[in-house]
Structure 1
Amino acid sequence: MTDPRHAAAHPLPAEWGRTPLTVVMPTYNEAQNLPTMAETLMALPLEGLRLLVVDDNSPDGTGTIADQLADKYNEPGEGGRTRMGVLHRTAKDGLGRAYAAGMERAVAEGAAYVLQMDADGSHPAEKITEMLGVALATGADVVVGSRYVPGGTLSDAWKPHRKLLSRWANAYAGGILGTRVRDITGGFNLWSAAALRAIGLASVDSAGYSFQVETKYRALRAGFTLVEVPIHFEDRTAGESKMDLAVQLESVAMPWRLRSRALRGHAAGRRGR
């Protein structure tokens, strides 16, 4: 992994700020949070930034609010910039599948980089410029906003048992898969379009939060460069967590499935020699 520290502290050159970057933001019942998140992103000094909301038919009207925000931020006329788009899905089908659909759409529409970001205010939007700068300066294909590298911090609102569980989940997944990624479960990640094409989003198995583990592991197995930059992870500002029992069970099982698949592939490769 490349050390990104020398690339992290300075404003982006103007041409870097014009890099096509799409923030993919899945939503389900985030009507309270989405307007603030959209306003924050649109104020960043990144001319090439575009927001793509992926809404899973939220009963609280998040999808309608997203459409209204797109009308507000998109520039009118034939030559106007499309700064925000909305992908409406018909059902709540899991965070991982929402991300996969949005990331595929972003790459198809010309994004050079795609950033995953929660809609609940937990990820620091002000770090996006730095993450893009690290990717462009170092050539990294994946930049992880990490809670667990030096300088990374967690919300004071998190109870000790929640912090312990989060650290355990990272150690558990990383230990099984043999990676050195400190925050392999983290969901604030910047991807190059090349890496997303190579890992095969359509074939990712994870429906829930284990999507974060599976995609990073696929990228590392494919030889892509991953770096981590420290972030402060805040607790959600409004609304409720979407992590139910089925999602937790998938997160426990997925590292073993990925390891088993990798071992079978290695054994097949040895037999083919």
Structure 2
Amino acid sequence: MSEQHSTLGRTVMVVPTYNEAGNIAWIIDRVRAAQPHVDVLVVDDGSPDGTGAIADGIAATDPQVHVLHRTTKDGLGAAYLAGFAWALDRGYDVIGEMDADGSHQPEQLQRLLTGLLDADLVIGSRWVPGGSVVNWPLERELLSRGGNLYVRLLLGISVRDATAGFRLFRRSTLEKIRLDEVRSAGYVFQTDLVTRTLRAGLTVREVPIEFVERVRGESKMSGQVALESLKRITWWGLRERWEQMKGRRRIAAGRQLQTTR
């Protein structure tokens, strides 16, 4: 970490895992080489392939690597919330998210650290100028681009990659957006936290990254998972719009009552 980035304070990257035995040592090594001052927290959901044990072995020799073992696999969001709670409890100033499969390149973490200097949440984005994806079929790119456009239109936000999972939060951001009220467990979790940050009046910045499709292991994302996430976003967005409409009606009714007195 540069002297400039040292002003951000202690940083930890939260890495959720489930059956990532072939990737976990590789990705931890890359994080530690790219940013020696950044810690790593592996949140393992009881991987039957021994991912947690591999992470434990690394943590035993590197004091900047930590492992949180969970006994249930109940969603990406739940794993991140557990990791965030662990990090907040231990006084970290910056708390990040990244995948274990190499799709988020630790060598580009520098871009996010720089972006956080004047932001409350920074997102490594595929869909801003300079961002890109590698080894994605056209249908998956169209699904992601279309899904993010849908999110922008439905929720009224300007973030172009609200579903992205390569992020850095300031501690103060996570404390302000009321994590105890978050109920989204799956991939919609990412959109939920972006929207909460914006609704809290905080600054979200996107920086371009190159997203690389995993080369080892099986992806946890499928068309069915993506569709389920969009369904949840639709319900959530429509509910929010309904609440906003009711709020405007109450205000209008109040003004009308005042004019009739």
CA contact (8 A) 1:24 1:102 kept: yes
Does residue 119 of structure 1 match 2:100? yes
Does residue 53 of structure 1 match 2:42? yes
Q: Which moved more, 1:102-111 or 1:52-61?
A: 102-111
* Equivalent position to 2:2, from 3, 12, 31: 12
Aligned residue in 2 for 1:33:
23
CA contact (8 A) 2:122 2:205 kept: yes
Q: Which moved more, 1:247-256 or 1:176-185?
A: 247-256
Structure 2 alignment gaps of length 5 or more: 255-261
Alpha-carbon distance between aligned partners in 1 of 2:167 and 2:66, rounded to the nearest angstrom: 20
* Equivalent position to 1:256, from 219, 234, 252: 234
Aligned residue in 2 for 1:143:
122
For the aligned residue pairs, the C-alpha RMSD in angstroms reads: 1.9
1:266 Cα deviation (Å)?
3.1
Report the CA distance shift for 1:178/1:184 in structure 2 as closer, same or farther (over 3 A). Answer: same
Report the CA distance shift for 1:253/1:15 in structure 2 as closer, same or farther (over 3 A). Answer: closer
Identity over the aligned pairs, expressed in percent?
Answer: 45
Whichever structure has more helix as a proportion of its residues is 2
Report the CA distance shift for 1:261/1:198 in structure 2 as closer, same or farther (over 3 A). Answer: farther
Does residue 69 of structure 1 match 2:47? no
- TM-score, with length taken from structure 2: 0.89
CA contact (8 A) 1:46 1:129 kept: no
Given residue 196 of structure 1, which amino acid in structure 2 is its aligned partner?
A: L
Aligned residue in 1 for 2:84:
103
SS in 2 for 1:154: strand
Report the CA distance shift for 1:178/1:127 in structure 2 as closer, same or farther (over 3 A). Answer: same
SS in 2 for 1:228: strand
CA contact (8 A) 2:124 2:206 kept: yes
Structure 1 alignment gaps of length 5 or more: 1-10, 75-82
1:105-126 alpha-carbon deviations (Å, 9 max, x no partner): 1112111111100000000111
After the TM superposition, which segments of 4 or more aligned residues of structure 1 sit over 4 Å from their partners?
267-270
1:249 Cα deviation (Å)?
4.1
Alpha-carbon distance between aligned partners in 2 of 1:15 and 1:115, rounded to the nearest angstrom: 14
Alpha-carbon distance between aligned partners in 1 of 2:7 and 2:109, rounded to the nearest angstrom: 11
SS in 1 for 2:34: coil
SS in 2 for 1:43: helix
Aligned residue in 2 for 1:207:
185
Q: Which moved more, 1:249-258 or 1:95-104?
A: 249-258
CA contact (8 A) 2:5 2:114 kept: no
1:202 Cα deviation (Å)?
2.6
Does residue 242 of structure 1 match 2:220? yes
